[in-house]
Amino acid sequence: MGVIEVESEQQFTDLTQKNDSKLIALYFHTPWAGPCKTMNQVFKTLAESKSNDQSIIFLSINADELSEISELFDVSAVPYFILIRNQTILKELSGADPKEFIAALNQFSGESTTTNTTKSSTEKSTSSDSTTTTSEPVEESEEALSERLTKLTTAAPIMLFMKGSPSSPQCGFSRQLVAILREHQVRFGFFDILKDDSVRQGLKKFSDWPTFPQLYINGEFQGGLDIIKENIEEDDQFFEHALE
């Protein structure tokens, strides 16, 4: 069957109700988020590799155009994956980690391993996008790292560099900043600095800021938690104005 592009809230309701007993993989994405470009292909490849498995449905959802569905699942960062069955959420995953999504899909579809075709296809997809690859670290020059950081900080209009993911923050400061972004209904991209020590250490010099989380808007460093709080206190429309 492949990927079904959801075009309306009614279509989504019909599809989920009709296939209630099946494993449904929801993929929330936006055209402006760099990591989604990689995961679009990963999601498509997985759907095609399991096209003969009638027990799994793959639904692709534009989080901006179908905001009602995004709000229903409290999706504030993309890419975002949700696995559901019988109207029950089995797993939520935030971020561009193909291996993590494949493992979850296999876990709830009853498979223990991926096929060689699927594995090689997804690994090929991720290797083509340096902004989302979190494989084993390789030596890179200072210039190459600076170029990679520039791409990362501009991967989405609002980029959050945090410990963990929005659905599972690994420190209190990151959790607070995610809560602030959600409270202000801000859509943002994110990068888990715990998965890449080169980015973690490089950003400290790149932004001239020693701690995390760090927030970038339109590629410009805005500050950490305390500064963002101060900016919001001074201007309740801080995020909107910073994007202009």
How many domains is the chain built from? 2
Structure confidence at residue 27 as a pLDDT band (50, 70, 90): very high
Domain boundary among 69, 101, 127: 127
Instruction: Residue 235: give its domain's CATH number.
Output: 3.40.30.10
The answer to whether residues 125 and 79 touch, using CB atoms and an 8 Å cutoff, is no
Q: What is the pTM of this model?
A: 0.52
Per-residue confidence (pLDDT) for residue 117, from 0 to 100: 33
Domain boundary among 127, 162, 179: 127
* Amino acid type, 118: T
Interior/surface letters 188-224, b for 16+ CB within 10 angstroms, e for the rest? bbbbbbbbbebbbebbeebbebeebbbbbbeeebbbb
Q: Which of 2, 114, 12 is nearest to 58 (CA)?
A: 2
Give the C-alpha separation, 76 to 92, whole Å: 13
pLDDT tops 60 at residue 21? yes
Q: Are 54 and 170 contained in the same domain? A: no
Range of the domain at 191: 143-243
Same domain, 120 and 187: no
Q: Measuring CA to CA, how many Å separate 158 from each of 22, 84, 118, 210, 216?
A: 35, 29, 32, 20, 6
Q: Do 82 and 11 share a domain, yes or no?
A: yes
Looking at per-residue pLDDT, the higher value among 189 and 133 belongs to: 189
pLDDT-derived band at 135 (thresholds 50, 70, 90) equals very low
Residue 136 lies in a domain: no
Q: Could you tell me what percent of the chain has a pLDDT over 90?
A: 38
Pair 77, 159 in one domain:
no
Beta strands 88-94 and 80-85, pairing class: antiparallel
Q: Which amino acid, 190?
A: F
Is the model's pLDDT at 229 over the cut of 80? yes
Stretch 2-31: mean pLDDT, rounded?
Answer: 91
Core vs surface per residue 111-123: b (16+ CB within 10 A) or e: eeebeeebeebbe
Residue 132 lies in a domain: no
Across 107-116, 123-132, 184-193, which has the greatest mean pLDDT?
184-193
The verdict on 151 and 108 lying in the same domain is no
| Token duo for residue 101 | 């999504």
pLDDT of 23 reads 92
